[in-house]
Copies of this chain bind each other. A is one copy, B any other.
Amino acid sequence: MTDQPVVPASVSRPTIADVARRAGVSKGLVSFALNDRPGVNAETRQRILGVAEEMGWTPSVRARSLSIDRSFALGLVIARDPGIVAADPFFPTFISGVESELSEVGQSLVLASTTSQRQEAETYRQLARDKRVDGFFLTDLRADDERISLLQQLGLRAVTLGHPDVASPFPVVSSDDGAGIRAVVAHLIVLGHTRIAHVAGPADMLHATHRRIAFEEAMTEAGLDASRVVETDFSAREGAEATRRLLAVRSSMRPTAIVYSNDPMAIAGIAVARRAGLDVPRDLSVAGFDNTDIAEHVYPSLTSVATDVARWGATAARVLLAAVAGDAIDGRVPLPTRLVIRESTAAAPEAARTPPPSPLQTPSPPASPGTTTV
């Protein structure tokens, strides 16, 4: 009676042992009841649940983690240059989509951000070694992406955003960027443009390459020259630089429309055109990608391809959660994109309106499936 510590001042929250004592059963049984597993008498379970509820019991994630070797957290490693990631609304939007799902199930998101690629691999390794997460979101897929095999050998789950170009055991969630690009090109062709250029993202980023390929295919199918392509790092700076290069040819060769791989570059492109004395859209049509919030509010307002990034995040989270739980669901159909037409695209200048040289296919196909044209 003297050694026995006074009943803990109810200051620390109840553990499974407290519930067991109060319910007059063993810890093990409480655990079974709480995780509603078979083998517990129905009314005993009810009683246990009642007591737990009444005591305000809530599981200790830490203890559970240690015991069943799961983190109840998902990881996202961002490896872009900080300046570029800041200008791109992708991640905040994606994350809010992810969060909407994770918060539902009481899991959390561990975020890491690195600059160099060497640091990147080290970051994955460290997060894996410390078992901070159960799986990763693989964004910004690269050509021959070594993260696939890295995560595989680390024994971690993952979901890739888009289809890798290497064998991958991970489920995929994708966005139909290609349809978006095709819709833009079709739109421009309808407007009479024939000299259309593309300012692409980094060649080693798969989604940038997909957009570029979609551009080239759409142009080629329409019987147009698909060679006006400049690669960039996705930054506004390089978008501007690319535009300068594209415009620095004699006017009869100059593109009358430029399709950019993201909005910041398109906006920078408009500025370059204006400085060069060109009016947008009279002399040059410009289209962006992602339909950033600001696209609607620049002058001229920007035609852009809208992607539902938040939904992409939510879907990716569901798929990854399922993968971690052992269920192999896939991201099924690619998420649709939608072309939003605004002021920055208009009819090609009269002078440039030469009829396109005998199209190989249907001249201007209707909006590609998966893309609604507005």
Binding site for B on A (CB under 8 A): 58, 60-63, 65-66, 71, 73, 78, 82-87, 89, 91-93, 95-96, 99, 103, 106, 108-115, 119, 123, 126-127, 129-132, 235-237, 239-240, 264, 267-268, 270-271, 274-275, 292-294, 296-299, 301, 310
Contact = CB atoms under 8 A, between A and B. Distances in A.
Contacts of A108: 110-112, 127, 130, 132
B130 A106 contact: yes
For the complex, would chain A's binding face be called helix, strand, loop or mixed by DSSP majority?
A: helix
B132 A112 contact: no
A88 B66 CA distance: 39
Contact of A109 (B62, B71, B111, B274): B111
Nearest to A88: B92
A103 B265 CA distance: 31
A60 B128 CA distance: 11
Given A66-B62, A66-B63, A298-B267, A293 B236 contact: yes
Given A113-B99, A123-B103, A130 B61 contact: yes
Contacts of A268: 294, 297-298
B112 A297 contact: no
B293 A83 contact: yes
Contact of A89 (B87, B96, B132, B310): B87
Given A109-B111, A130-B61, A294-B268, A93 B99 contact: no
A13 to B, nearest CB: 8
A63 B99 CA distance: 27
| Candidate in A83, A123, A240, A298 with the most chain B CB atoms within 10 angstroms | A298
B103 A58 contact: no
Nearest to A243: B297
Contacts of A58: 129
A105 to B, nearest CB: 11
Contacts of A299: 270-271, 274-275
Contacts of A83: 293
A298 B297 contact: no
Given A109-B110, A111-B95, A297 B61 contact: no
Given A271-B299, A299-B271, A294 B87 contact: yes
26 contacts: A60-B131, A62-B65, A62-B66, A65-B66, A66-B66, A73-B110, A73-B132, A82-B96, A83-B293, A85-B92, A87-B89, A91-B92, A99-B112, A108-B110, A108-B111, A108-B127, A108-B132, A110-B110, A236-B293, A236-B297, A264-B293, A267-B298, A268-B294, A271-B298, A271-B299, A275-B299
A91 B113 CA distance: 12
Please give me the 4 A-B residue pairs with the lowest Cβ-Cβ distance, nearest first. Answer: A86-B89, A271-B299, A268-B297, A236-B297
A60 B95 CA distance: 28
Given A111-B111, A271-B297, 19 more contacts: A61-B130, A62-B65, A62-B131, A65-B65, A65-B66, A73-B110, A83-B293, A85-B92, A92-B92, A99-B111, A103-B112, A108-B111, A108-B130, A108-B132, A237-B293, A264-B293, A264-B297, A268-B297, A271-B298
B82 A86 contact: no
Contacts of A93: 82, 86
A84 B294 CA distance: 10
Contact of A114 (B103, B109, B123, B292): B103
